[in-house]
Amino acid sequence: MSIAPEPVPRRFYNRDTLIVAPELLGKLLVRRESSGLLVGKIVETEAYRGVDDPASHSYRGKTPRNAVMFGAPGIAYVYFTYGNHYCLNAVTEDEGTPAAVLIRAVEPLEGVDLMMRNRGVEKLTEVGSGPGKLTKALQITREQNGCDLTDPASDLKICEPSEAGKVFETVRTTRIGIRLAQDKLWRFYVKGNPHVSRK
DNA sequence: GAGAAGATCTCCT
DNA sequence: GGAGATCTTCTCA
């Protein structure tokens, strides 16, 4: 079976980050890779805004690393952290406004065996239940930084799910793994989904 | 050019 | 539950 869904249009991303983040839940993260097609459903996100968010990379202004966040919406921002891990973001809001949504967890749907091999695990819930885990499962590296998520020909894109995939309850809570601005309720996840990184 | 911190994960106790 | 791994990026001298 092959999924050929429509990518989410750029105007979807060109809105308030706090609207885009919860609406990204349930969308499909589609990665076309040399050994096959890898698809995961987004089940957890976090919003990051440069202007009023001290925890964001872009809070202190534009640097070579975060330049993508200042660019057009619908672009992938991938960065390397802790010496081990990549994290995947989708850039949001108007060009010149530094904002992005961090994809924190996915539920593997297609290419599951390949993802488990990439991760070196056998439990399905261990494949994509964390920002560093899902990038490894989907083989996302800095090469995907600046990739257009709205381009049907792109190797990495975000697509509309089937109708059945849109039925779930969203939970809004505080963000994880940051020291600054922990009070903001900018993390969203699918209620009851076992692939969410933390309850 | 050197030092420190980091949107994490895994293993060990 | 806690700390190490490991390296990129930023900041400051």
Taking the stretch 119-178 of protein chain A, residues with Cβ within 7 Å of any atom in nucleic acid chain B are 119, 121, 126, 130-133, 176-178
Q: pLDDT tens across A29-59, in order?
A: 999 988 899 999 999 999 999 888 989 999 9
Burial A146-168 (b: 16+ CB within 10 A, else e): ebbbbeeebbbbbbbbeeeeeee
**CA-CA distance, A195 to A192, in Å (whole number)?**
9
Listing DSSP states for A74-134 in one string gives TBEEEEEETTTEEEEEEE-SSTTS-EEEEEEEEEEEESHHHHHHHHT---GGGTSSSHHHH
Q: How far apart are CA A20 and CA A26, in angstroms?
A: 12
What CA–CA distances, in Å, run from A127 to A6, A39, A61, A146?
25, 12, 34, 24
- C-beta of residue A78 within 8 angstroms of C-beta of residue A86: yes
- Residue A179 pLDDT class (50, 70, 90 cuts): confident
What pLDDT does residue A4 have?
A: 61
- Give the pairing type, strands A76-81 and A28-33: unpaired
Of A residues 60-119, those with CB within 7 angstroms of nucleic strand B are 69, 77, 80-85, 87, 89, 100, 102, 119
One-letter amino acid at A196 equals V
Q: What does the pLDDT average to over A115-124?
A: 93
Tell me which residue of A29, A179, A169 sits closest to A104, measured CA to CA.
A29
Give me the mean pLDDT over the A156-166 stretch. 88
Per-residue flag: A198 CB under 7 A of strand C: no
